[in-house]
Structure 1
Amino acid sequence: MAVRARLRRRVTVRPDAATELERLHHGATPLVVLNVWDVFSAKIAERAGARCIGTTSAAVARALGYEDGELMPRPEMIAAVARIASATKLPVTADLEAGYGATPDDVAETVRLALESGVVGFNIEDGYTAAQRRDRKAPLRQLSEQVERLRAARAACDRAGVPDVVINARVDVFVREVGPPEARVDLTLERAAAYVAAGARCIFPIMVRDRAAIGELVKGIAAPMNVLALPGLPSLRERADLGVRRVSGGGGGHRQAMAAAEQAARAVLGDGDLTALWTTP
């Protein structure tokens, strides 16, 4: 508890950084968000020229010994995000999963803690966790319920004095394969419109892959659109031409880092190649 308190005191609420992050969503080129999981990976992104820093819930959780899906306790997630925010002057946007709680008030409290930790943007997703999907027999929250959660998140930002915070509302229609394929664009647009009205500043239809679907969504959403950097998708230039305003790396950087570590470990233990520990892939 003392450690978390010190972290919160070290980083104050950052309204100017929130304004900068919001501005970056309307620049001449898409905002590329490299998602990190600790201070060192954040420093790598910063040195590489990142304009902001994003976290990835899956990698943060696994670095702390948990799996994704809000299995990492909220205080540990906030402490990890606070360490990252305290180590960079860049705007930080955090993956807050579904908001860590059953009620809109729970979401508001998570947002308050994140803002006090130096975060100036965050993802909130409308899908249930794996355990919740099993219990509820449904992939997504009801639209009206998610709207109330986003309204609570926006109100928490306003109370904290950071009205420019970018709420990146993740829509899980594509990743959860909700409805027939031909209906998913319309289902996403319905949710996106409601989320923008509730205070979202960016919409993230995670796992949308089809170029035509991306184009339709960009045209139909009254806010910047975020896509995930997936293999086989259009290039960054093509995404810009389609109107995409934000591209997220998700867990890709962490997967690359862990794959390199495993490759080196296998070379040492399997082949006796000690130089693998010192050779950059």
Structure 2
Amino acid sequence: MNNTLFTSLHQQATPLLLCNVWDVASAKTAEKLGFNAIGTSSAAIASMLGYADGEHMAFEELLFIVKRIAACSELPLSVDIEAGFSDNPQITAGYIKALAEVGVVGINIEDSKVSKTNEERTLINENNFATYLAEITSQLLKDNIAIFINVRTDTFLLGIANVVEATQKRAKLYQAAGADGLFVPGIVQTEAIETVVNSTSLPVNVMCMPDLANFSTLKSLGVKRISMGNFLFDALQDDLTTRLSNIVQANSFQPMFKAIA
């Protein structure tokens, strides 16, 4: 699928509400309900496969799932590749090329890494990440791979000092390195959202959070993309727990055919 449509979805007055999926079934549901685009949730896919979040699964495992989603849905598909699955930008560019070849039109790549030893997430130095990103985008250009690169900065997610200023600095560096969009998960304060949006020409993406403003307010602030993260997947797992518990308690399958109380 050509990425032109997907790119244009980030330039509308109304923000793109991206449905985050983890398998074919969730992708088909999003398509049935009229969503304009879907994006994978790396945390949801990792959980589904029995991994912790943070590149514990192999890229090949992710690619297999992405191939099935792309083959079964007509919606524009963006894929979360976490921190790139490699410190080598040429290897990461190769992974992105493999995704593009199966029909993926966008990717998310983040500027933080999760330690394999203590599971702690830490920010990558902004200049180092910008250099890494620039090498990736340069290689993709050489390979004639057109794909929407949504760069996720975890400044707010990790609650660093002077967070707005740090986010603005990273946005400028990442745009110069070839980013097409800026994803700022964890940002919820309307003033902070407006400041970040007004400080960059990149379309800004925010993520579902308990205190996030409604979609109309986000539209008025200039947000261009709204994601669900892994919250939808987690909510469905809670529903499954409730349903299974009800079956056990009732000693009957009758609760399966009733709405969850």
TM range (shorter): over 0.9
Hey, what does 2:71 align to over in structure 1?
86
User: Deviation string for 1:20-76 (max 9, x for gaps)?
Assistant: 100000012100011000000000011111101110001111112212100011100
* Equivalent in 176, 179, 191 of residue 197 of structure 1: 176
2:238 maps to 1:259: yes
CA shift, 1:112, in A, is 1.5
CA shift, 1:110, in A, is 1.7
Alignment length (residue pairs):
260
Rate the CA distance shift 1:68–1:212 in 2: closer, same or farther, 3 A.
same
User: Deviation string for 1:147-174 (max 9, x for gaps)?
Assistant: 12222332343244343x2111000111
Q: For the residues of structure 1 that align with 2:78 and 2:143, how far apart are their CA atoms?
A: 16
Hey, what does 2:133 align to over in structure 1?
150
Q: For the residues of structure 2 that align with 1:82 and 1:153, how far apart are their CA atoms?
A: 22
CA shift, 1:118, in A, is 1.6
Q: What amino acid sits opposite 2:107 in the alignment?
A: F
Q: For the residues of structure 2 that align with 1:72 and 1:241, how far apart are their CA atoms?
A: 39
* Equivalent in 1, 8, 31 of residue 46 of structure 1: 31
User: Deviation string for 1:121-154 (max 9, x for gaps)?
Assistant: 010000111337x59x982111122112222332
Q: For the residues of structure 1 that align with 2:126 and 2:39, how far apart are their CA atoms?
A: 26
User: Deviation string for 1:166-223 (max 9, x for gaps)?
Assistant: 11100011111222xxx10000000011101111111011101111100100000221
Rate the CA distance shift 1:280–1:45 in 2: closer, same or farther, 3 A.
farther
Q: For the residues of structure 2 that align with 1:138 and 1:207, how far apart are their CA atoms?
A: 14
Q: What amino acid sits opposite 2:38 in the alignment?
A: I
Q: What amino acid sits opposite 1:54 in the alignment?
A: G
2:230 maps to 1:218: no
* Equivalent in 40, 48, 70 of residue 55 of structure 1: 40
User: Deviation string for 1:211-249 (max 9, x for gaps)?
Assistant: 110010000022100000112211100000000000001
Aligned residue runs from structure 1 range 158-177, under 5 A: 158-163=141-146, 165-177=147-159
Q: Give the conservation status (yes or no) of the 8 Å contact 2:18–2:35.
A: yes
2:259 maps to 1:274: no
Helix, strand or coil for the counterpart of 1:241? helix
Q: For the residues of structure 2 that align with 1:84 and 1:194, how far apart are their CA atoms?
A: 33
Q: What amino acid sits opposite 2:163 in the alignment?
A: R
Q: What amino acid sits opposite 1:128 in the alignment?
A: K
2:99 maps to 1:114: yes
Helix, strand or coil for the counterpart of 2:113? coil
* Equivalent in 14, 34, 42 of residue 19 of structure 2: 34
Helix, strand or coil for the counterpart of 1:139? strand
Q: Give the conservation status (yes or no) of the 8 Å contact 1:111–1:156.
A: no
Rate the CA distance shift 1:160–1:272 in 2: closer, same or farther, 3 A.
farther
Q: Give the conservation status (yes or no) of the 8 Å contact 2:97–2:145.
A: no
Q: For the residues of structure 1 that align with 2:41 and 2:121, how far apart are their CA atoms?
A: 24
2:115 maps to 1:130: yes
Q: For the residues of structure 2 that align with 1:178 and 1:121, how far apart are their CA atoms?
A: 28
Q: For the residues of structure 1 that align with 2:121 and 2:211, how far apart are their CA atoms?
A: 29
Hey, what does 1:69 align to over in structure 2?
54
Q: Give the conservation status (yes or no) of the 8 Å contact 2:114–2:121.
A: no
Q: For the residues of structure 2 that align with 1:48 and 1:23, how far apart are their CA atoms?
A: 21
Q: Give the conservation status (yes or no) of the 8 Å contact 2:51–2:57.
A: yes
Hey, what does 1:4 align to over in structure 2?
none
Q: CA RMSD in A?
A: 1.7
CA shift, 1:98, in A, is 0.3
Helix, strand or coil for the counterpart of 2:112? coil
CA shift, 1:82, in A, is 1.3
CA shift, 1:116, in A, is 1.7
Hey, what does 2:167 align to over in structure 1?
188
* Equivalent in 103, 110, 115 of residue 88 of structure 2: 103
